[in-house]
């Protein structure tokens, strides 16, 4: 069994009118089965309202399934006695950097999780130090979070999760509110964590450029998993992605159009370097 596993996961939002009568039921997540192996870098892609954030909140036991089961590191999230263990194993980073930083000083915020877990003071300091170093924010430890940039704040949030020593980290659109530089900083930090510390990463996003490093990509639409595979497999189906209203990276799109108009280049080109190499090969032959 993988570190995160869902089986026939269904989640329904119940909309009520002012008197509390049920107005309608929305299926945000519909029969989703995913299986994530330890150490993997997973990306979940989807348009707004595709259910990807709802799915993410199930992994951290913030939401509970209407039907089906979620297991995190072998523990069923429906088991109330395990809820704090699950939240410690599966840390979560949210979208808005301002709304998840609790401390008034960077180091205090990173220490918040370990404090809640009842870690002895001395070890909290060690954990804070190593996690701030892991995201490259150690020199900012005495700063006020209000004075940091969006990307830096998000890295602090990631450090706050790492300090709890989770086995996997779920990032719910961590870059949605950031500028391109901030986005790069955050993605670099996540990749470093995944590479060096072997923390399983689940990145939820709607930016295509961010998923090219993933081991596996799930594309969600209307609560279903529509596509599943490596980034290359996903990106070779440009037309299907377009029908799901997802933007394809420009290089991939260019390569796709070139191929359609008769050039002999491979499908699923992800980077500018790959395309130039493919074109060079073509010219030589």
Partner 1 sequence: MLRDITLGQYYQSDSVIHRLDPRVKLSGTIIFIISLFVVNNFIGYAIAGLFLAWVIKVSKVPFRFMVKGMKSIVMLLVITVVFNLFLTPGEAVVTVWKLKITKEGIEIAVKMAIRLVFLIIGSSVMTLTTTPNNLTDGLESLMKPFKIFHVPVHEVAMMMAIALRFIPILLEETDKIMKAQIARGADFESGNLVKKAKSLVPLLVPLFISAFRRANDLAMAMEARCYRGGEHRTKMKPLQYKKRDGLAYLTVFLYLAVCILGGRILPGLFMAP
In angstroms, the CA 96 to CA 49 distance is: 17
In angstroms, the CA 43 to CA 204 distance is: 6
Candidate list 51, 65, 68, 113; residue touching partner 1; CB under 8 A: 113
Give the binding range for partner 1 (CB under 8 A) out of 158-166, 190-198, 199-207, 251-259. Answer: 158-166
Q: Is 132 in the site for partner 1 (CB under 8 A)?
A: no
Give the binding range for partner 1 (CB under 8 A) out of 13-21, 98-106, 193-201, 210-218. Answer: 98-106
Q: Is 96 in the site for partner 1 (CB under 8 A)?
A: yes
Q: Is 119 in the site for partner 1 (CB under 8 A)?
A: yes
Q: What proportions of the chain, in percent to the nearest 5, are helix, strand and coil? A: 45, 25, 35
Tokens of 218: 């799930």
Candidate list 68, 150, 151, 160; residue touching partner 1; CB under 8 A: 160
Q: Is 81 in the site for partner 1 (CB under 8 A)?
A: no
Q: Is 138 in the site for partner 1 (CB under 8 A)?
A: no
Of 63 and 189, the one with the shorter C-beta distance to partner 1 is: 63
In angstroms, the CA 273 to CA 70 distance is: 40
- Which SS3 state, helix, strand or coil, does residue 249 take? coil
Q: Is 146 in the site for partner 1 (CB under 8 A)?
A: yes
Q: Tokens 């399983």 — which residue?
A: 200
Of 101 and 278, the one with the shorter C-beta distance to partner 1 is: 101
Q: Is 246 in the site for partner 1 (CB under 8 A)?
A: no
C-alpha torsion sign, points 138, 171, 180, 44: positive
Whether the Cβ atoms of residue 188 and residue 110 lie closer than 8 Å to each other: no
In angstroms, the CA 111 to CA 268 distance is: 43
Of 144 and 250, the one with the shorter C-beta distance to partner 1 is: 144
Shortest reach from residue 248's CB to partner 1, in Å: 31
Candidate list 32, 34, 70, 161; residue touching partner 1; CB under 8 A: 161
Of 75 and 254, the one with the shorter C-beta distance to partner 1 is: 75
Within the chain, residue ranges assigned H as helices are: 52-59, 83-89, 106-117, 121-134, 150-162, 180-192, 231-235, 238-243, 250-260, 272-284
Candidate list 26, 104, 243, 271; residue touching partner 1; CB under 8 A: 104
In angstroms, the CA 218 to CA 239 distance is: 16
Q: Which residues bind partner 1 (CB under 8 A)?
A: 60, 62, 84, 87-88, 91-92, 94, 96, 98-105, 107-108, 111-121, 124-125, 128, 145-146, 160-161, 164
């Amino acid at each position: 069994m993988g570190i995160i596993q869902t089986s026939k996961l269904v989640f329904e939002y119940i909309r009520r009118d002012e008197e509390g009568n049920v107005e309608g039921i929305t299926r945000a997540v519909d029969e989703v089965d995913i299986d994530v192996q330890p150490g993997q870098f997973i990306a979940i892609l989807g348009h707004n309202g595709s259910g990807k954030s709802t799915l993410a909140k199930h992994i951290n036991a913030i939401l509970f399934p209407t039907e089906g089961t979620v297991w995190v590191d072998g523990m069923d999230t429906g088991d109330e006695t395990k809820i704090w263990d699950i939240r410690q194993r599966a840390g979560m980073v949210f979208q808005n950097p301002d709304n998840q930083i609790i401390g008034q000083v960077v180091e205090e915020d990173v220490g918040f999780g370990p404090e809640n877990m009842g870690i002895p003071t001395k070890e909290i300091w060690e954990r804070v130090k190593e996690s701030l170093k892991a995201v490259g924010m150690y020199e900012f430890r005495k700063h006020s979070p209000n004075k940091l940039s969006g990307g830096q704040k998000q890295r602090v949030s990631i450090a706050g999760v790492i300090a709890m020593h989770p086995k996997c980290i779920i990032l719910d659109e961590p870059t949605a509110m950031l500028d391109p530089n901030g986005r790069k900083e955050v993605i670099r930090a996540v990749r470093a964590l995944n590479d060096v510390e072997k923390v399983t990463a689940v990145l939820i996003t709607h930016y295509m450029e961010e998923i090219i490093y993933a081991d596996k990509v799930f594309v969600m639409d209307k609560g279903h998993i529509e596509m599943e595979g490596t980034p290359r497999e996903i990106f070779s189906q440009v037309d299907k992605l377009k029908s799901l209203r997802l933007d394809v990276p420009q290089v991939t799109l260019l390569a796709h159009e070139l191929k359609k108009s008769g050039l002999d280049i491979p499908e699923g080109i992800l980077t500018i370097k790959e395309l130039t190499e493919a074109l060079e090969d073509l010219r030589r032959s």
